[in-house]
Structures are given as structure tokens and as C-alpha cells.
Structure 1
Amino acid sequence: MSPTPASVAAVEPLLDVRGLTIALPAGADRPHAVEGLTFTLNPNEILCVVGESGSGKSMTAHAAMGLLPKPHVKVTGGELLFRGRNVFFHVGDGTARPARWPDRHGVSGADDRPQPAEKGRGPDRGKSSGPYLSG
């Protein structure tokens, strides 16, 4: 017998992105890298983001971790809630920056792109590519 909706406890999302907009610098081929992105990731879920080159996948991850190229690429809209707390703080120029994850939320980010091996032997091809969050 499956539980009824009233007996299932509400689960707080682990990550809740609402209306994320990331502006590109003046003169770019388009005004936004990401515009109005919304998604929810619940505990014990896996989210796979798929898209064409230049569609904003990496920019989204970099915005969440505070790794956008400064000062040219900026979060200009939306919010990113981690365990119910907005990790962006808004600054006077209408943009938002993430607070420091480890200090405020117990989450760390890492850039896991291949790095050159010791003594110039070339990149370590055994690593995955791209940033990730762990909590």
C-alpha cells in the first residue's frame, strides 16, 4: 500500500534555482548567457544538465559557486536557495553575488578540470571535466 499524500512529509529542496539570469558583457553576441532559469533539486536526486555549447550550463554552475569572470559577467536576476537559504546577496548596482558557500552553508565547490601532470607530462586525462558542488 502506498502512502497517502497527507502522510508524506514535505521535503525541502536541496537546491532551488528561481529565475536565474546571467548577463554577458556589452558587445557579446547576446545579452544573457542564462535567462530565467528555474529548477529544483531535491535530496538524493541527480540532475543532469544537457545543452549545446554556449547554452549556459557552465555559467550556471559558476554563478552558484561565485566563479563567474569578474567584473564582466554578472548575475542580474533570480535567486539560488540552498536548503531554503538564498546564497546570493544583492549589491547596489542591481547585480547579485553568491555568499561564500563554506562559511555560510557547509558546501564547497571544486573545479575538477584536468590539470597538467607533474614535470610537464601533460594533462591528467583520468579526471572528469567541469565544476561540481558537494554538500
Structure 2
Amino acid sequence: MYDWIVYLSGEIHTDWREQIIEGAEEAELSMLFTGPITDHADSDECGEKLLGEEINPFWRDHKAAKINAIRTRKMIEEADLVVVRFGDKYKQWNAAFDAGYASALGKSTIILHAPELTHALKEVDAAAQAVAETPEQVVEILKYITRER
């Protein structure tokens, strides 16, 4: 049994998730980390693989997004805290959606991004309980919010 369930949302091209999980384990925090399917091809292709081929890219993406949303909704709803990472390589519209969904559910959020994205993410940041620039800062927040006194 874990004291906290933390959903890790956002970009899938760096090891930020592993850094946070390892930092929490080193600090002996009682946390279960969940997240989306992070294999890009699996996430993009699940609709076709599970429900049949699509010629039109719109319907291909639509099928995959709906199937992925089953997991995302359940895990965000069950989370005590949602960490959302925005990278600089791709526009993470899904991450922005996850941040908004978590906020609408009243979930506490930590937004993680480089300083260069501050202006673009000002509304997302404004809804968050914390905005961090590094995975290490997220770990420090996790340590702080779970300490005894």
C-alpha cells in the first residue's frame, strides 16, 4: 500500500520520469507512480492494432486517442497528485489536456518545463500548485509534502 499515487503526464522523449521515480525511491517515499503508455508507436497505433486498419489518418488518431483516454482518465482520477512535463521538442497538446483535466477534477498539479516555455504555458502554470524546471525540484517538492512535520 502506498501513501500517494502520482500520475506522470507529458513528453515521452527524455528520462524525466525515471529521474523522479529514482529520486523518490532514494528518499524512501511511499509513492506509486503511474502514467500513460510511453512507447510512442504503441500509443499511436493501438487503435488500428486493436480495432482494425484505418485509411484516413484522422480516424486512425481518433481511435488511438479514445483508447488511450481510457487509461489516462482512470489514472488521473485515482491520482493524489499529477505531474505534467512539457518538453521543447514537440508540442504536447495531450499534456495540456491532462493538466486541464486534472485541474478540473481538483487534483493538485506540478507543472514541469524549461523557463523558455513560461509565457506559452502561463495559463497552465497559473492553475498549478507548483511549477518546476527540473525533475530534481519535483523530487524536492515530493519530499517536502510527505514529511512528517
Settle same-fold status: TM greater than 0.5: no
- Higher-strand-fraction structure: 1
TM-score (norm 1): 0.28
TM-score (norm 2): 0.26
| Structure with larger RCO (C-alpha < 8 A, sep 6+) | 2
- Higher-helix-fraction structure: 2
